[in-house]
Amino acid sequence: MANPQIENGYTRVANEILNQIMKTNLNGTQFRLVIAIWRYTYGFKRKEYEMSSSYLAKLLDTKSRSQVDRELTSLIDKGVLTVKGIGEKGARVLSFNKNYKDWNEKDPSKETVPEIKPNKKPTTKN
């Protein structure tokens, strides 16, 4: 039987952030990534942490590193997560952007840009 106790550790997240993340349109993988970032940043009383896509895939217990990388990139594009740089091990140093007013609900990577076709002048033969 599981017996979790806060004496064995806990992660402090402001209620305002919890309320906002509940309202944010995230898919399951994105939500799990946010939780993982919280766990390894706020859970260790730090604001940022170096994490690779393969490390996050292991935390999420998934073999699809490409899916994790795609959803991580989406969260970065939305402004929910930020990249502080590249760490000593060569992975991205990630942090959670608690300023939710900066978050973009629309995923810029999924927006379609209308294709502009050049005007073709009709050719005339003389």
Residue 124 has pLDDT above 80, yes or no: no
Pick the more confident residue, 122 or 6: 6
How many degrees, rounded to 5, is the angle at CA 96 between CA 91 and CA 100? Answer: 145
Is the pLDDT at 13 greater than 60? The verdict is yes
The residue written with tokens 């939780």 in the block is: 35
Which contacts of 117-120 are long-range, i.e. CB under 8 A and separated by 24 or more positions? Answer: none
Q: Residue 72: pLDDT above 90? A: yes
Alpha carbons within 13 A on the beta-carbon side of 106: 4
The CA distances from residue 27 to 4, 15, 33, 60, 105, in Å, are: 27, 21, 10, 14, 12
Give the Cα separation of 61 and 26 in Å (integer): 19
With cut-offs at 50, 70 and 90, classify the pLDDT of residue 112. low
Given a cut of 60, is residue 109 above it in pLDDT?
no
CA angle (96 as vertex; 91, 102 as ends), nearest 5: 120
In the three-class reduction of DSSP (H, G, I as helix; E, B as strand; rest coil), residue 93 is classed as strand
More confident residue, 115 or 6: 6
Report the phi/psi class of residue 75: left, alpha or beta, with left for phi > 0 and alpha for psi in -120 to 50. Answer: alpha
pLDDT per residue over 28-67, tens digit each? 999 999 999 999 999 999 999 999 999 999 999 988 899 9
